[in-house]
Amino acid sequence: MADVIVTDGDETRLATVISALRTLLGDRLQTSAAVRDAHGHDESWHETHAPDAVAFAQTTAEVSEIVRICAASRMPVIAFGTGTSLEGQVSAVNGGVSLDLSLMNSVLKVHAEDLDCRVEAGVTRKQLNSYLRDTGLFFPIDPGADASLGGMAATRASGTNAVRYGTMRESVLSVTAVLATGEIIATGGRARKSAAGYDLTRLLVGSEGTLGVITELTLRLQGIPEAIAGGICPFDSLDGAVDAVIETIQTGLPIARIEVLDEVQVAACNAYSNLSLPLSSMLFLEFHGTTASVEEQSTRFAAIASDHGGGAFNWTTEPEERTRLWEARHNAYYASLALEPGKKGMTTDVCVPISNLARCLRETKEDLDASFLTAPIVGHVGDGNFHTIMLIDPDNVRDMAEARRLHDRMVRRALALEGTCTGEHGIGLGKIAFLEEEVGQAVDMMRTIKRALDPHNILNPGKIIAS
Amino acid sequence: MADVIVTDGDETRLATVISALRTLLGDRLQTSAAVRDAHGHDESWHETHAPDAVAFAQTTAEVSEIVRICAASRMPVIAFGTGTSLEGQVSAVNGGVSLDLSLMNSVLKVHAEDLDCRVEAGVTRKQLNSYLRDTGLFFPIDPGADASLGGMAATRASGTNAVRYGTMRESVLSVTAVLATGEIIATGGRARKSAAGYDLTRLLVGSEGTLGVITELTLRLQGIPEAIAGGICPFDSLDGAVDAVIETIQTGLPIARIEVLDEVQVAACNAYSNLSLPLSSMLFLEFHGTTASVEEQSTRFAAIASDHGGGAFNWTTEPEERTRLWEARHNAYYASLALEPGKKGMTTDVCVPISNLARCLRETKEDLDASFLTAPIVGHVGDGNFHTIMLIDPDNVRDMAEARRLHDRMVRRALALEGTCTGEHGIGLGKIAFLEEEVGQAVDMMRTIKRALDPHNILNPGKIIAS
């Protein structure tokens, strides 16, 4: 395929960078339209902005060299894992080089006795769990996609287990990263806790590739529990389901997963995953512990559920049925997209204090029910976090206007209820204005940090902060 | 008392600042030698550097005004809570104004249904728990001292419950802080998780007042468990005790507290707290959960302990005996000091991966046993974190040389074992060189952030990073 290169600016500058990168990487520098296009968008509705070239790095030293080459020409560098982000994080809005880390996919070390491991940034969560299969350990963070662990750290991802095991914020012990200068830093060791200086690990986690490129991570692992019990529970109403969640959390039941699906999402999952769940609001639950303790938790939850209009809570410790249900839950996003083939999903992701969750969900559901768009609701309600997936044709002006209206109302509702504009998807391109609404002048502090660490704005420009 | 003012530099500059602060604060600006001296040291061996004045703020707006006044004259500002830090964090090494937050001691709001609360920075941990008494909730982070919550956040404090409930890093949901410009920022809301931009909360937590002055905090609370079981277990050897800890953690027992004391510390606690514990290595333990689950955990631990040379593990759910033991544990630092009245304690605080804990503790114990200094060992061993308290006369050259030798060997041993130079006490004045050994070039990244946010180095200068 011909090298068809579209640049925002200076052709000479780009030629210099490409020539230097080709010398460094050989075939691992790609400039074909197909490869560039595939690196210019994520799984969201955000439009494609292809990079000018894609560099496939194999080592941290190579990442450093690539960043140095780009920095010398002030060329943007956009770190790329699996391209499964949901707010346009990998889009090359100013052109530049997509730095693909998928070849850095080695699990470097598992310290089973310390419940930690060291991985390269391109290792995916499923790959890691498959690697850990015989150790009695697992890595709990599970966004829907089989994302790379570097990308999950960069977007501060979470998922269904966060109510028990935390998010990437709590799961990353330290990282190796390449800064905008090309300098390689390591943020710490393997200690469980540390009070040694500024928390650079947490600063890089969630920085979406704008402060540094994460190349290696030390991750906390969890022991696979002796027993896992799980099941589903239908509810008369979304309100009832949410009230059951709130009481479950408030009574301190150490639940591992508690997820809500509205009847639209249940219908989508039935169709996509060949299930026959009743079409009502539904909780998916899981308890981890000893055999005695998961039985106690399940019984206690059943009593709470029946107080809030819940139907029979059939729980099981059998792995097969549980796995089938949770696979369906994990595929909720793809199931939603399949409701109207050819459409894109505009996802929103908010998180509120749990006492405000019922109201936030109810008002959102009323908005969606009144709209002509199809929009299932699904959420990690134990954390107060939920999503809608509005099915849209991005070229249809009416769809887009309606989706944006619903989106903005939902986010502003969450902010008014002391919540956040994103619980786990990040800011990317889609929520820059809302970040400013949420934290006000603190954005200036973010901007100061960004300018100090990346004065020429080469690391994933245009994301998180409007420059 | 006369205003005896010692400055490092320009008298006129100081007079300008004091005059402006007096206009703002009236009697709440203090310049007496007694008040200045009390604000020039913490509970550690580090020598006193008195500030030139002490400003007692009552509101965030006042803190902002104080910082603006100091910034205009490039005068250092050192935030001060209770002065219970252990690495010289509050020492006014360059003179300047100690900003005392102890009058900002209101619990602003408790959201019991969301398990969170909002407090001013001067509220102490015991004050908060006393306030929460009737809510069924508690705040778990418990360093030995009754420290202020602002100070605990600033030093990323932890304590005996961290193995179950995390440290200040996990317990602070968001803060309000005053930056070096005087600007007031709020880092977020009350959502349990957020992917909204850079994690400024975690950047300020642990920054020891060098990036901003924390004035208010939103904190996670925990539900008081239905049942608490606890007890002590003597061991034949420190190694045996540590091996029992490691197996307990690795089998996933959700222990709430697991603390080790060596026989020197046990003797100190016996004397100070009027106990008669056997003089051997000892574990203090606590289990939180339902009645059935704490019984199950206690029984499982007893079996693990007996495999590792543990004596009888007598556990109880009775609060009185438990409280007496845990008060003795919390007073371990003061008990150690009481072993040799008039001496100071040079504490060290390291944290290593748990698989390296036995070796790190054993080699440290051999060093201490061979020394002429008295030095008990006590530790939050579930996290791999432990302390020694070397009793010294800071004016005795031989004491100091020996303490420094032991200290440096212990810290370097922890670093060689993939640990950190401080698990919970922070860097302050005492560990600046070790931070550099631990994270290498990442200190440059910290320095870049510090210079960007505080270009004139007025916020707690001389701490964490050598400027």
Select from B361, B134, B124, B112 the least CA-distant residue to B243: B361
Q: What mean pLDDT comes out for the span A158-171?
A: 96
- Residue B5 has a pLDDT of 46
pLDDT in tens, B45-86: 999 999 999 999 999 999 999 999 999 999 999 999 999 999
The CA-based angle A361-A364-A366, given to 5 degrees, is 110
**Which comes out higher in pLDDT, residue B324 or A433?**
A433
Tokens 């730095």 sit at which residue?
A99
The H-or-E segment that residue B366 falls in is helix B357-369
Q: How much of chain A, in percent, has pLDDT values that exceed 70?
A: 98
Q: How much of chain B, in percent, has pLDDT values that exceed 70?
A: 98
Cβ of B296 and A292 within 8 Å? yes
- Residue B3 has a pLDDT of 40
Which residues of chain B form CATH 3.30.70.2190? 227-333
Confidence grade of residue B9 (pLDDT, cut at 50, 70, 90): low
Cβ of B442 and A187 within 8 Å? yes
Of A194, A252, A452, which is closest to B423 when you measure between CB atoms?
A: A194
pTM for this predicted structure: 0.96
Select from B448, A198, A67 the least CA-distant residue to A187: A198
- Residue B321 has a pLDDT of 85
Cβ of B156 and A195 within 8 Å? yes
Confidence grade of residue B363 (pLDDT, cut at 50, 70, 90): very high
Q: Is the pLDDT of residue B41 over 70?
A: yes
CA A150, A155, A158, A159 torsion-angle sign: negative
Question: Which residues of chain B make contact with A442, given a CB cutoff of 8 A?
Answer: 185-187, 197, 200
The H-or-E segment that residue A363 falls in is helix A357-369
Which residues of chain B form CATH 3.30.43.10? 11-103
Confidence grade of residue A315 (pLDDT, cut at 50, 70, 90): confident
- Residue A442 has a pLDDT of 97
Question: Which residues of chain B make contact with A352, given a CB cutoff of 8 A?
Answer: 191
Which residues of chain B form CATH 3.30.70.2740? 340-439
Question: Which residues of chain B make contact with A351, given a CB cutoff of 8 A?
Answer: 191-194
Among B113, B198, B420, pick the best mutation site for testing chain A contact (most A Cβ within 10 A).
B198
Provide the 3-class DSSP secondary structure of residue A188.
coil
Question: Which residues of chain A make contact with B422, given a CB cutoff of 8 A?
Answer: 194-196
Chain B: closest CA distance from residue A362 (Å): 18
**CATH number of the B11-103 domain:** 3.30.43.10
Confidence grade of residue B252 (pLDDT, cut at 50, 70, 90): confident
Query: What CA–CA distance (Å, rounded) separates B322 from B285?
Result: 10
- Residue A9 has a pLDDT of 55
Question: Which residues of chain B make contact with A443, given a CB cutoff of 8 A?
Answer: 197
Question: Which residues of chain A make contact with B162, given a CB cutoff of 8 A?
Answer: 193
Of A187, A191, A444, which is closest to B351 when you measure between CB atoms?
A: A191
**CATH T-level fold of B340-439:** Alpha-Beta Plaits (3.30.70)
Cβ of A211 and B205 within 8 Å? no
Q: What mean pLDDT comes out for the span A115-141?
A: 97
Residue positions counted in chain A: 467
Cβ of B198 and A226 within 8 Å? no
Residue A25 DSSP label: H
Q: SS in 3 state form for B113-137?
A: HHCEEEEECCCEHHHHHHHCCCCCE
Question: Which residues of chain B make contact with A422, given a CB cutoff of 8 A?
Answer: 194-196
Q: What mean pLDDT comes out for the span B382-410?
A: 96
Confidence grade of residue A3 (pLDDT, cut at 50, 70, 90): very low
Nearest CA in chain B to A194: B423
What average pLDDT does chain B have? Answer: 94
Cβ of A354 and B444 within 8 Å? no
Cβ of A190 and B353 within 8 Å? yes
Q: A239 with A363: CB under 8 angstroms?
A: no
Of B113, B206, B249, which is closest to A199 when you measure between CB atoms?
A: B206
- Residue B4 has a pLDDT of 41
Of B206, B424, B452, which is closest to A448 when you measure between CB atoms?
A: B452
Confidence grade of residue A250 (pLDDT, cut at 50, 70, 90): confident
Report the C-alpha dihedral over residues B406, B409, B413, B416, rounded to 10 degrees: 160
Q: Is the pLDDT of residue B1 over 80?
A: no
User: Going by C-beta distance under 8 Å and a sequence separation of 6 or more, which residues neighbour residue B35?
Assistant: B54
Confidence grade of residue A6 (pLDDT, cut at 50, 70, 90): very low
Q: What mean pLDDT comes out for the span A179-202?
A: 97
Confidence grade of residue B250 (pLDDT, cut at 50, 70, 90): confident
Q: B263 with B281: CB under 8 angstroms?
A: yes
Specify the range with the lowest mean pLDDT, choosing from A311-320, A411-420, B153-162, B448-457: A311-320
Report, at the CATH architecture level, how domain B107-223 is classified. 2-Layer Sandwich (3.30)
Residues paired with residue A119 on neighbouring β-strands, in sequence order: A107, A217
Phi, psi angle pair for B116, to nearest 5°: -145, 165
B107-111: strand order across its sheet: B107-111, B116-120, B213-220, B172-178, B184-186
Question: ipTM for the complex?
Answer: 0.95
Nearest CA in chain A to B203: A199
Question: Which residues of chain B make contact with A179, given a CB cutoff of 8 A?
Answer: 445
Residue A225 DSSP label: P
Residue B109 DSSP label: E
- Residue B251 has a pLDDT of 86
The CA-based angle B385-B423-B359, given to 5 degrees, is 35
What average pLDDT does chain A have? Answer: 95
Of B200, B206, B431, which is closest to A445 when you measure between CB atoms?
A: B200
pLDDT in tens, A49-61: 999 999 999 999 9
Question: Which residues of chain A make contact with B216, given a CB cutoff of 8 A?
Answer: none
Which residues of chain B form CATH 3.30.465.10? 107-223
Cβ of B292 and A290 within 8 Å? no
Tokens (6 digits) for B103:
């009058």
Cβ of B383 and A193 within 8 Å? yes
Q: Are strands A107-111 and A344-351 parallel, antiparallel or unpaired?
A: unpaired
pLDDT in tens, B174-190: 999 999 999 999 999 99
Chain B: closest CA distance from residue A22 (Å): 29
Cβ of A448 and B453 within 8 Å? yes
Chain A: closest CA distance from residue B285 (Å): 19
Q: B390 with B411: CB under 8 angstroms?
A: no
Q: B283 with B260: CB under 8 angstroms?
A: yes
Q: Which value, in Å, is the radius of gyration of the alpha carbons in chain A?
A: 22
**CATH T-level fold of A227-333:** Alpha-Beta Plaits (3.30.70)
CA dist A268 to A272, A324, A340, A371, A390, Å? 6, 15, 10, 18, 13
User: Going by C-beta distance under 8 Å and a sequence separation of 6 or more, which residues neighbour residue B355?
Assistant: A111, A113, A114, B246
Question: Which residues of chain B make contact with A254, given a CB cutoff of 8 A?
Answer: 254, 289
Query: What CA–CA distance (Å, rounded) separates A234 from A215?
Result: 43
User: Going by C-beta distance under 8 Å and a sequence separation of 6 or more, which residues neighbour residue A269?
Assistant: A261, A275, A277, A328, A329, A331, A332, A335
Confidence grade of residue A187 (pLDDT, cut at 50, 70, 90): very high
Q: What mean pLDDT comes out for the span A278-298?
A: 93
Chain A: closest CA distance from residue B407 (Å): 16
